[in-house]
């Protein structure tokens, strides 16, 4: 049994936050090795008519796998930090997991994430990422929106840099991008948090 790490919540905006030390360094390395052994493929983009290859939007690679045990562990480690949203409580993590890999020059341009539902009728509201390494240059997750301030349109930006084992959670509706890697390789574990009434 690994020693438990102290986890710290950092609120970035109303519906964007990070929690440190969800996984330790050894666990992150194990997940990277597992993904590499499965084998990465070019990542598609979800569209209303189904998945499509759209390299002008994203050109990174990914592994998709189902792991109930890992999703349960991700849930146990994050649940105490999760907010009530729209009068609903968080109730689990999607077991359909993805690990993304970004080489230099690869990125995922500005986009919003879509909600997913499970067989229990629960629908996701939060994207749940865990950075598996931070020995790369670039590769931030950047949130950007515009608002009118005293009649002037202003850009508001929040930048989250990879930190090994740190989770980043945010509402699906938030515009964000995975900025290009300049050097090294970036690995990210991705899932969603389900919500339900009661």
Q: Is 25 contained in some domain? A: yes
Phi first, then psi, for residue 76 (nearest 5°) are -60, -40
Q: How many domains does the chain have?
A: 1
Q: What is the pLDDT of residue 90?
A: 98
Q: What is the span of the domain harbouring residue 113?
A: 9-196
Per-residue pLDDT tens over the stretch 122-179: 999 999 999 999 999 999 999 987 777 777 788 788 999 999 999 999 999 999 999 9
User: What does each C-alpha distance from 170 to 67, 69, 148, 156 come to in angstroms?
Assistant: 22, 23, 23, 16
pTM (predicted TM-score): 0.89
Tokens in use for 102? 């970004």
Mean pLDDT within 18-42: 95
Query: Is pLDDT of 1 > 60?
Result: no
* 1 in any annotated domain: no
- The predicted pLDDT at position 109 comes to 80
Whether 4 maps to a domain, the answer reads no
Give CA 122 to chain center in angstroms. 19
- The pLDDT of residue 126 is 98
- Helix H or strand E encompassing 32: helix 25-38
Mean pLDDT of the chain: 90
Q: Which of 41-45, 80-84, 153-157 has the highest mean pLDDT?
A: 80-84
Query: Is residue 3 in some structural domain?
Result: no
* CATH number of the domain that residue 129 is part of: 2.60.120.620
Cβ contact 141:190 at 8 Å? no
For residues 83 and 106, which has the higher predicted lDDT (pLDDT)? Answer: 83
């Amino acid at each position: 049994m690994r020693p438990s790490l102290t986890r710290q919540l950092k609120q970035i905006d109303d519906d964007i936050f990070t929690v440190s030390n969800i996984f330790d360094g050894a666990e992150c390395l194990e997940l990277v090795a597992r993904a590499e052994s499965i084998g990465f493929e070019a990542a598609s983009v979800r569209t209303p008519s189904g998945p499509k290859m759209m390299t002008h939007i994203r050109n990174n690679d990914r592994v998709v796998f189902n792991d109930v045990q890992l999703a349960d562990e991700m849930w146990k480690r994050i649940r105490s930090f999760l907010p009530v949203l729209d009068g609903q409580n968080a109730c689990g993590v999607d077991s359909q997991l993805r690990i993304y890999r970004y080489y230099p020059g690869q990125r995922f341009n500005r986009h919003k994430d879509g909600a997913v539902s499970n067989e229990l009728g629960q629908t996701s509201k939060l994207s749940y990422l865990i950075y598996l390494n931070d020995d790369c240059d670039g590769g931030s997750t950047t949130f950007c929106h515009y608002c009118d301030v005293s009649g002037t349109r202003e850009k508001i930006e929040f930048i989250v840099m990879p930190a090994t084992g740190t989770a980043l959670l945010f509402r699906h509706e938030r515009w964000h991008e995975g900025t290009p890697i300049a050097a090294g390789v970036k690995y990210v574990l991705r899932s969603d948090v389900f919500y339900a009434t009661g």
